[in-house]
């Protein structure tokens, strides 16, 4: 549902509705789809729904843009969607397919004249400093400028009209962040979630959640687990992301999914 804001500039009883949307910039696994050197049916499919960049998302209220994760396809994703500015970046965790594109924030630094604020767990902030040490230690013109802000699973953030509630999900044995953004939840690389954290998702209408493939996996939900999770949470609509080529062709799988569930795809826009 769009957020309702009182606007007394025109009429005392005038209300404006601000829509928030999420664009799925990538919906694939750490290898992306197609996988290098693979000639399976999915990797050679001409259907764009089977072509997946590494998982990331852009949340926007029309004025404020917040990125969730900056993986190796970050530059391509920004160019593809003609993103002119970023106000902040949220990092779910430290794996390379979610952070290694941070060097490419430089055009946004140059355009704004400011450091990019990156919100993440203390452990992840440490890893960003380690992997991008030159950003924080060298004073050379043209380097990225990053301001790290440490958050935790209970942090609430506000960016323009975008409300974010962090929550903890388990990526195997690794605690990482998921995000509730108004009526929508974005949960990548999730295997399990505690009952306490599940309470933060009560009442959501839209869910974007990992479904790696059909087989059991130690650190990601497979299709069966994701569908059971969706059934338990009961959102109006759900989309499966962080999908590998082993899932199969989108055109063949989608008709067999529950009516309110579909495979996510790169470029999908969800507005509320």
> How does pLDDT run across 39-83, given as a tens digit for each residue?
999 999 999 999 999 999 999 999 999 999 999 999 999 999 999
Contacts of 13 (CB under 8 A, 6+ apart): none
Bridge partners (DSSP) of residue 156 are 165
pLDDT value of position 49: 97
10/149 Cα distance (integer angstroms): 38
pLDDT value of position 18: 80
**Strand 15-18 to 3-6 pairing:** antiparallel
pLDDT value of position 16: 58
The pTM assigned to this predicted structure is 0.93
Q: Superfamily for 3-265+267-271?
A: Ribonuclease Z/Hydroxyacylglutathione hydrolase-like (3.60.15.10)
pLDDT band per the 50, 70, 90 thresholds, residue 108: very high
pLDDT value of position 139: 84
The CA dihedral of 89, 90, 95, 99, to the nearest 10 degrees, is 0
> Does pLDDT of 7 surpass 80?
no
Helix (H, G, I), strand (E, B) or coil at 195: helix
pLDDT value of position 145: 96
Parse the chain into domains and list their residue ranges: 3-265+267-271
């Amino acid at each position: 549902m769009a957020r309702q804001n009182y606007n007394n500039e025109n009429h005392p009883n005038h209300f404006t509705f601000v829509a928030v949307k999420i664009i799925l910039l990538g919906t694939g696994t750490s290898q992306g789809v197609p996988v290098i050197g693979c000639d399976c049916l999915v990797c050679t499919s001409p259907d764009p729904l089977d072509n997946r960049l590494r998982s990331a998302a852009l949340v926007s209220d029309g004025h404020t843009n917040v990125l969730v994760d900056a993986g190796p396809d970050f530059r391509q994703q920004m160019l593809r969607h003609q993103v002119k500015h970023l106000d902040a970046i949220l990092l779910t965790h430290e794996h390379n397919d979610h952070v290694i594109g941070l060097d490419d924030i430089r055009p946004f630094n140059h355009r704004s004249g400011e450091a990019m604020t990156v919100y993440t767990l203390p452990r992840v902030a440490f890893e960003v400093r380690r992997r991008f040490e030159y950003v924080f230690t060298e004073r050379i013109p043209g380097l990225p400028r990053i301001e790290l802000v440490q958050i935790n699973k209970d942090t609430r953030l506000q960016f323009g009209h975008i409300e974010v509630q962090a929550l903890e999900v388990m990526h195997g044995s690794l605690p990482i962040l998921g995000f509730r953004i108004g009526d929508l939840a974005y949960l990548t690389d999730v295997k399990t979630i505690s009952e306490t954290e599940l309470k933060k998702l009560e009442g959501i209408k839209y869910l974007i959640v990992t479904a790696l493939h059909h087989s059991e996996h130690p650190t990601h939900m497979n299709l069966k687990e994701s569908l059971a999770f969706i059934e338990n949470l009961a959102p109006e609509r759900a989309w499966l992301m962080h999908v590998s080529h082993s899932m199969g062709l989108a055109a063949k799988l989608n008709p067999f999914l529950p009516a309110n569930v579909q495979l996510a795809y790169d470029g999908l826009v969800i507005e509320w």
